[in-house]
């Protein structure tokens, strides 16, 4: 399983034709203590770039974007009661939703870990 990243600070891991999506450690640290997470509905057909939901913290609210086109096949319902999982474990228990991919070639437009690190350095 490889991990890809977006400029909007989402991480994506792909297993077969299903991608799991969350926000990066960098994003959760920038937001601060997360108090609310809204995820897309299971069954929704989505396109890359669509708004997927919202993450709200004590400091700000930030949109989550769909990184790849397909169908939402799962949403992390645990985040309704425990949105802080995004802070404590953003890349495992803090995942947000899963997409059954309709076009795997869209993965080519995402960054690998080295490119994402370089992207972060450019923000400092």
Token output for 71: 């169908």
Determine the average pLDDT of the residues in 62-66. 93
Give the per-residue pLDDT at 1. 66
- Is the pLDDT at 28 greater than 90? The verdict is yes
pLDDT greater than 80 at residue 124: no
Query: 122 versus 71: which is more confidently predicted?
Result: 71
Closest by Cα among 53, 54, 48 to 68:
48
Percent of residues, the chain, with pLDDT higher than 70: 99
- Give me the pLDDT at residue 64, please: 92
**pLDDT, average across residues 79-91:** 94
Structural domains in the chain? Answer: 2-103 (2.40.50.100)
Residue-level pLDDT at 48 = 94
Average pLDDT across the chain, whole number: 94
For residues 13-25, one letter each, b for 16 or more C-beta atoms within 10 angstroms of the residue's C-beta and e for the rest, the string is: bbeeeebbbbbbb
pLDDT score of 123 more than 90:
no
Query: Which pLDDT band, with edges at 50, 70 and 90, does 59 fall under?
Result: confident
């Amino acid at each position: 399983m490889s991990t890809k990243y977006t400029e909007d600070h989402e991480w994506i891991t792909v297993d077969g034709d299903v991608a799991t999506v969350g926000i990066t450690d960098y994003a959760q640290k920038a937001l601060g203590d997360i108090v609310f997470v809204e995820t897309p509905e299971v069954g929704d057909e989505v396109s890359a770039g669509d708004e997927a939901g919202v993450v709200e913290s004590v400091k700000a609210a930030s949109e989550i974007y769909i990184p790849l086109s397909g169908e939402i096949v799962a949403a992390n319902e645990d985040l309704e009661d425990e949105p802080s999982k995004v802070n404590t474990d953003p890349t495992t228990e803090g995942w947000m939703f899963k997409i059954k991919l309709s076009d795997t070639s869209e993965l080519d437009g995402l960054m690998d870990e080295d490119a994402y690190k370089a992207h972060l350095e450019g923000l400092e």
